[in-house]
Every structure is written in C-alpha cells, then in structure tokens.
Amino acid sequence: MLKRIWTIFIRDLTVNMREFMTLYMIIIPLVLAVGINFLSPSINDTSVNLALIENENPEQAAYFDDFANVELFSDEQKVEDRVMSRDSVAGILPKDNGYYIMTQGNEPESVLEYAKLLNVLYEADVQLEDARSEIIEFGRTVPPLKKMLVNMLLLLISMLAGMLIAMNILEEKVDQTVSAINVTPTSRSAFILGKSLTGMAVALFSSIACLLITGFYNVNLGQAALVVFSSTILSLLIGFIQGLNSDDVMEAAGSVKLMFLPMAGSIAGYEFVTGNWQIFFYWSPFYWAYKANDMILSKSGTWPQLILFIGIILAICGAVYALLAPRIARKLQ
Amino acid sequence: MIKVEGLYYSYSNDDNFAVKDVSFEVAEGEIFGFLGPSGAGKSTTQGILTGLLQLQKGNASVAGYDIKNISRKMFNKIGMSFEQSNVYSKMTAKENLSFYSKLFDVETRDPIELINLVGLGGKENIKTGEFSKGMKHRLTFARSMINNPSMWFLDEPTTGLDPAIAADIKDIIKEHNNKGVTVFLTTHNMFIADELCDRVAFIVDGVIKLIDSPKILKLQYGKKLVEVEYVQDGNVKKETFSTIMQKDKDLLNQIIADKEILTMHTKEATLEEIFIKVTGRGLV
Ligand SMILES: Nc1ncnc2c1ncn2[C@@H]1O[C@H](COP(=O)(O)OP(=O)(O)OP(=O)(O)O)[C@@H](O)[C@H]1O
Ligand SMILES: [Mg+2]
C-alpha cells in the first residue's frame, strides 16, 4: 500500500515538474513570497525605532532599549532630523514634566501606539518581568499588511494544490489510465492517497518555504503546517471532483478558481467586518484557516485555540467529503 | 482458469442487457477466442472478468478468485491489454512501463526487454504523446505482460496494426501460451483466431451462439460449402451455401433449378464463413 502510494506520488510530481502549467503552479507562490518582501519591509527591519536625546534621561533610555531600537542624539534638532528620515522612527522628547512623542506622520499606527505604550509603561514603572507578555502582544513587530499578504498567500497555496490535483486527475482521465491502474493490485484508496499526497506535499513545502522567504521563521512552523494541512484537504476534495468533471485543462483550472470567491470573502470578512457579524463567515473553512494563520503569524496563538480552529476546518471538510466521496468513487470506476 | 455462469450486464441497470446469460469455461493453458461483431458484448464480458465493471448478475471466477468480491491480489496474476490504448502521454515508453511495474507485488519484467519485444526498440525515451496509434497500442500490449501474468486478457491486441506486426504479436501470444499462460483473446481477426485459439465462442447481441474448437468447426463444415456463381436479372451473383444446413440446401436447389449457373465448386470454410453461417451475421 505505502509503496504504491509513493509510486503514484513520485510519478505525479515528476510529470508536474516537467509541464509548464503545473510547474508554474508550484513555483508561483515562491515568486509571490519574494514579491511580498519587496512590497513590505521584512519583519526584522520593523522592530520599533526610537530616537532620544543622549544623557537626557539615561534610565529611560535603558528601559526603552529592552523593548525597542534606541538611537541617541545630541539635541532636539538632531532627533527631529532623524524622525523626518524615510523609515519609521518615533522621537520621544521631554516637554514640561513629561514626554511627548514626535512623529513624521507616515509611521504605521502600530509604531506610534507602541511608542506611547512604552512611554506610559515607563512612567508607571512597569518592569520587564511584570509585563513581557503584554508588551509583545501590543508590540506587533510585524507590519499588519505583510502578515495579511502572507496569510493570503498561504490560502492561495492550498487552492493551487487543489488545482494541481485537478490537473493530475484530468491527465488520468484524458489518457484513460485509471482503468490500467484498476487492473493492478492498487486499491482505490491507495490511488486517491497517492494523488492527494502530491497536492499535500506541494502545499506544505510551498507554505513553509514562503514563511521562510518572508522572514517568518520565528513562528511555530509546526502549527502553520497543521493549518495548511487541514485547509488543503478541502482544496484537494474540490480538485478531485473538478478534475473528474472537466474535459480540458482550462476548464479544470477555471472551476477550481471558483474557490477564490469564498476565500476572498472570508479574508475580507475577517479583516474588515466587525465582531458580531463575523458569525456570517463561520461556515467558511477559509475564514477559520485565515484566523488560525493570523494567530500563528502574530505569535499570539495558544494550542487549545489552534486545535479548536483546526477541528472546525476538519469538520467542515468532513461534511464536504461525505457529500463528494460517493461521486468521486463512482467517477473513478 | 475462468468459470462464468449466467452472466448478465446492463449499462443502464435495466433489462437492456449488453451481455445476456453468458456461460463458459476456460481451462488452464488454453487460448480462448471471443469472436463477434462490433457491439456484441465482448469488451463488456472482459470488463466484468477483470473487475473494471461491477458484476451485476451471475457467477464468475478468474484464476481462483471470485469476481463477486475481488481481492486486489488477483491482479498480480492477471494481465490486461486494452482495446483502446491507454498510456500516459506525458511520459516516455520506458517511464510508463517502469511506473506500472512498481504497482505489482510480484517480480516484473524489464521495461526495455518488453519494448524491444513489441518492436518499439529505440523509442523507449520518447513521450508516448508523440507515438502513433499503433505504437501506443503495442505499448499497451507490452505493458500487459509486465507482471508475468498467468491469466492474460487481450482485447483486440492486433487491431490497427500492419499485418507484419500483427503476425509478430500473434507469435508473442503463442510463445507465452506455450509457457503455460492462459489467454482470453477478443479479436475481429479471424485468421489470428483460427491459428491461435484452442476454442472459440461466437457472441452476437450479448448472447453466445456457439463454443467449439476451430478444428472441429472446420471438420463439421469442412468442404461442405459450395460457392455458386449465377445470373440473376442480368447480373452475376456469387453466393456460398452449406450442404448440411437444410435452409441452404433448399435455396441451392432452387437456384440450380431456376437460374443460369456460371461456376460452382466446393471449398474449405474459413472461420469467418462459419461464423456467418452459424450466426447469420457478418463480423463487422
Ligand atoms: N460505457 C458504456 N455505456 C453504455 N453502453 C455501453 C458502454 N460500453 C458498451 N456499451 C454497449 O454495450 C454493448 C456491448 O459493447 P461492447 O463494448 O462489449 O462490444 P464489443 O463486442 O467489445 O464491440 P467491439 O468489437 O466494437 O469492441 C454495445 O451495445 C454498446 O453500445
Ligand atoms: Mg470491444
């Protein structure tokens, strides 16, 4: 059984790497990942930069240094010059009895919030030991846009995996090779698992590669892989059924693309719809995958939460499977 | 090796049977020919016996396995050459066979050896998408031998091949049979059937009309055919009559009485002529 699953998987992969269309599907997420890096600064550049006046308050500078990149300047004018430069820096300057935050105006809100927060925390004399978790939580060292793009990319990858399956099923259908496999000791489940493994392996590989390319190597990759795994199951099911129902490559790719709509809807729902209305997206496994990914990418998730989300995704996939499995089995006759 | 009893099959799951009450047995080491016109139900029968079509009604066993609930292990013993060639067009001939060989649990044959055997030597590294129809058909045939089957199903293995290659295929079948392989052969080619088959079944409209050995059939019909050329309404007509079938004898009498006879001689019946005489149908 395992030998045959592997044989089918390797065959698919070999053929996929050779054909332009399928190779493109495997490569494109990696290209997009590189693109995201250009569009949005990498995570490591985005730790918050603060500009202070040297020796004005060494204790404060030391405190901030635990949580941000602190740059010291000789006077207020130098701090201002620094703040006006291209990247995001917030200046913290003395005024009256307290401090005020000087910005250029184009810094991400998170930088500003963070600077404010640090300032408040310092004044309240909160120590690192007391407050670590909260500070990281508020820190949002990852630009939200980048996190969103990478999250979308992860969903796109699972959709592409479905398309890949559709292509591979279509190949068997056009060449009528399923009947040849049916007169070998290969069971139907070995065939389906072999085919699925191709999509799954490509999805997992691309996802991890994209996370690494975009600089998310500090996130829990195991958790990320789990979410990719569960959300890809649905794409694979759809890939199977569309491959069996289509007669040519464009039709197969096109019909899998239909998944794009609920996917985009779920993302928009999660990002832009307010709390109470989110319930309207609960049916969509993409919503839960996006939510889970968001948690992982911002390193704020707990295992119980994650397991709950994955459980929901799997339950929805299970329902879809129950619906589609008889049709898939019939079509493979 | 094969035992079939009261087999029925309907594609539409109703009384519209493609195969009706088919029963026969194939002994180990035999070459059994399945002959009949297009649409007779030959491929359908073969499909049921190889598990490609679900057994609906009747009993069948192949190589000791009950077809009602097929064990996947059975396929280690079975080879199947499809009527319509079905190989991966994006893979080379050699890749096709290597991939296929890995799906079996038993010792398999060397892909290159098989490719050479069917006359495709030198073409092993060409994608089969670039193959001609006949080349694909030969590769499909070659693939069916890869697991050294003891029960070999061949659905029209020589269709679409030129006579020289068809003769080579025929020799390959004979050779394997000499080594003990049981063969279930579906074909339109009466010469090949005649030369290869120990027994043949004539099937028409899903019903088996007769099962016998070509030798016995020829003894029966032997030189008992008369070919007559006569004039009818100013045209020359040529017809063959059996001298043992009452209907033919009557017709012949009439023609001799009424028409102007040009030539008349006895001849040895071919399997095709016997088929036509028995079933009242041509083989096309
Ligand atoms: N997939 C199918 N769906 C519906 N009817 C079918 C199907 N395949 C075959 N039939 C019908 O079943 C009957 C027997 O077909 P079958 O393919 O067994 O004939 P055959 O003897 O192999 O013919 P040929 O010599 O042309 O290969 C025919 O009437 C055909 O129309
Ligand atoms: Mg046929």
According to the model, what pLDDT value does residue A138 have?
Answer: 41
**pLDDT over 60 at A216, yes or no:** yes
Tell me how many helices (H) and strands (E) chain B has.
9, 13
Mean pLDDT confidence for A254-272: 80
Ligand 1: which of B16, B22, B43, B56 to mutate, judged by most atoms within 8 Å of the beta carbon?
B43
Q: Is the CB of B39 under 6 A from ligand 1?
A: yes
Q: Are the C-beta atoms of residues B261 and B226 closer than 8 Å to each other?
A: no
Mean pLDDT confidence for B66-81: 93
Query: Atom 3, ligand 1: which residue's CA is nearest?
Result: B11
- Pick the range with the lowest mean pLDDT from A258-267, B28-37, B108-117, B218-227: B218-227
Q: Which residue has the higher pLDDT, B44 or A281?
A: B44
- Cβ-proximal residues to A3 (8 Å cutoff; 6+ apart), any chain: B102
Give the whole-number percent of chain A exceeding pLDDT 90.
31
Identify the band that residue A234 occupies on the pLDDT scale cut at 50, 70 and 90.
Answer: confident
**pLDDT over 80 at A183, yes or no:** yes
**pLDDT over 90 at A130, yes or no:** no
Mean pLDDT confidence for B224-239: 85
Task: Name the closest residue on chain B to residue A179, using Cα atoms.
Answer: B52
Tokens 């190949």 belong to: A171
Three-state secondary structure call for residue B106: coil
Triad B19, A184, B182: Cα angle to 5°: 60
Nearest-Cα distance to chain B for A323, in Å, is 23
Q: How far apart are CA B217 and CA B215, in angstroms?
A: 5
Looking at the complex, does the CB of residue A189 fall below 8 Å from at least one CB of chain B? Answer: no
Question: Exposed e or buried b for every residue in A272-289, given b needs 16+ CB within 10 A?
Answer: eeeeeeeeebeebbbbbb
Residue B44 Cα, ligand 2 centroid: separation in angstroms? 7
Q: Is the CB of B189 under 6 A from ligand 1?
A: no
What number of other Cβ atoms are within 10 A of residue A215's Cβ?
Answer: 21
- Cβ-proximal residues to B31 (8 Å cutoff; 6+ apart), any chain: B173, B177, B182, B183, B185, B196, B197, B198
For chain B, the average pLDDT equals: 91
Q: What 3 state SS string does A290-324 have?
A: HHHHHHHHCCCCCHHHHHHHHHHHHHHHHHHHHHH
According to the model, what pLDDT value does residue B123 have?
Answer: 95
Three-state secondary structure call for residue A268: helix
Identify the band that residue A50 occupies on the pLDDT scale cut at 50, 70 and 90.
Answer: confident
**Test mutation, B44, B55, B88, B144, chain A, max A CBs within 10 A:** B88
Half-sphere exposure of residue B85: CA atoms within 13 angstroms, side-chain side = 25
According to the model, what pLDDT value does residue A142 have?
Answer: 57
Domain ranges for chain B, please list them: 2-87+148-214, 223-267
Backbone angles phi, psi at A204, to 5 degrees: -65, -45
Note whether B102 contacts A181, CB cutoff 8 Å.
Answer: no
Q: How far apart are CA B6 and CA A92, in angstroms?
A: 94
Topology (CATH level 3) of domain B2-87+148-214: Rossmann fold (3.40.50)
Note whether B105 contacts A185, CB cutoff 8 Å.
Answer: yes
**pLDDT over 50 at A132, yes or no:** no
Three-state secondary structure call for residue B261: strand
Q: Is B109 exposed, middle or buried (0-12, 13-18, 19+ CB in 10 A)?
A: middle
Note whether B86 contacts A179, CB cutoff 8 Å.
Answer: yes
Three-state secondary structure call for residue A65: helix
What number of other Cβ atoms are within 10 A of residue A237's Cβ?
Answer: 20
User: Tokens in use for B257?
Assistant: 């009485």
Query: Alpha helices, DSSP H only, in B11-132?
Result: 42-49, 93-101, 111-117
**pLDDT over 90 at B94, yes or no:** yes
DSSP letters spanning A141-159: -S-HHHHHHHHHHHHHHHH
User: Tokens in use for A36?
Assistant: 């995201």
pLDDT tens column, B176-214: 999 999 999 998 888 889 899 999 999 999 999 989 998
Tokens 């005020």 belong to: A100
Q: Are the C-beta atoms of residues B62 and B89 closer than 8 Å to each other?
A: no
Q: How far apart are CA A265 and CA A161, in angstroms?
A: 20
Q: How far apart are CA A183 and CA B279, in angstroms?
A: 33
Mean pLDDT confidence for A263-282: 81
Chains A & B: contacts with CB separation below 8 Å = 65
pLDDT tens column, A241-254: 888 888 887 887 77
Tokens 């989300």 belong to: A309
Tokens 């550049």 belong to: A45
DSSP state of B268: P
According to the model, what pLDDT value does residue B234 have?
Answer: 84
Question: Exposed e or buried b for every residue in A115-125, given b needs 16+ CB within 10 A?
Answer: bebbbebbeee
Q: What predicted TM-score, i.e. pTM, was given to this entire model?
A: 0.78
Beta bridge partners of B153: B80, B184
- CA dihedral of residues A103, A107, A113, A119 (deg, nearest 10): -40
Q: How far apart are CA A180 and CA A21, in angstroms?
A: 25
- Pick the range with the lowest mean pLDDT from A142-151, A163-172, A190-199, B39-48: A142-151
**pLDDT over 90 at A37, yes or no:** no
Mean pLDDT confidence for A81-107: 78
Give me the residues of A, 52-81, that contact B with CB < 8 A: none
Q: Is the CB of B47 under 6 A from ligand 1?
A: no
pLDDT tens column, A7-32: 999 999 999 999 888 999 899 999 99
Q: How far apart are CA B207 and CA B115, in angstroms?
A: 37
Helix (H) or strand (E) holding A249: helix A249-257
Identify the band that residue A137 occupies on the pLDDT scale cut at 50, 70 and 90.
Answer: very low
**pLDDT over 70 at B222, yes or no:** no
Beta bridge partners of B78: B151
ipTM of the complex: 0.84
Task: Name the closest residue on chain B to residue A190, using Cα atoms.
Answer: B103
Q: Are the C-beta atoms of residues A155 and A267 closer than 8 Å to each other?
A: yes
Q: Which residue has the higher pLDDT, A275 or B147?
A: B147
Domain ranges for chain A, please list them: 2-39+142-331, 49-130
pLDDT tens column, B11-29: 998 889 999 999 999 999 9
**pLDDT over 60 at A129, yes or no:** no
For chain A, the average pLDDT equals: 83
Note whether A183 contacts B99, CB cutoff 8 Å.
Answer: no
Backbone angles phi, psi at B212, to 5 degrees: -165, 175
Q: How far apart are CA B211 and CA B278, in angstroms?
A: 11
Q: Which residue has the higher pLDDT, A115 or B120?
A: B120
Mean pLDDT confidence for A196-211: 94
Identify the band that residue B284 occupies on the pLDDT scale cut at 50, 70 and 90.
Answer: low
Q: Which residue has the higher pLDDT, B148 or B189?
A: B148
According to the model, what pLDDT value does residue B283 have?
Answer: 66
